[in-house]
Copies of this chain bind each other. A is one copy, B any other.
């Protein structure tokens, strides 16, 4: 697909297919730990947030993870690759129920539910966190990108650390 117009013009069913491809590529990129490719899924500037549902529903501004630009995203990749000390882990992301909420200017508002699973060394896989993507998507350079992605997770409690993006 081409630019913004084409995007805006897509009939709902086509749109859904574009979205399914986008979310699949996004989670695939992360499940395969290609973190360096992750920022490219976002516009510049962008908003990427991971927020416990408790804060979200109470309107408390604190995020567990806050990125306001490509730079912030890159710094997170540096953290994962260079500066943070952590035990090896694998996160598997399942996304389902992609919903088209509607247009907001040139941005498409969408939502999707997710479940993430964590596997630590010598352990069985366990549920990590589950929640919802609340996104704003725009067409840029002929592809769809996230202008905004707010990930709201159901459990206030996090199993120790949340190191890889969701």
B-contacting residues of A (Cβ < 8 Å)? Answer: 12-14, 16-18, 20-21, 23-25, 27-28, 31-32, 53, 90, 92-100, 111-115, 117, 119, 122-127, 129-132, 154-157, 159
Q: Is the CB of B119 within 8 A of A154?
A: yes
- Sorted nearest first, the 4 A-B pairs with minimum C-beta distance are A24-B97, A119-B154, A92-B130, A13-B17
In the complex, what residues of B have CB within 8 A of residue A24's CB?
96-99, 112
Closest chain-B Cβ to A94's Cβ sits at a distance in Å of 4
Beta-carbon nearest neighbor of A17 in chain B: B13
Sample of 11 A–B contacts (CB below 8 Å): A16-B17, A24-B97, A31-B97, A92-B130, A92-B132, A92-B154, A93-B96, A93-B113, A94-B96, A122-B156, A125-B154
Beta-carbon nearest neighbor of A132 in chain B: B31
CA distance A129 to B118 in the complex (A): 10
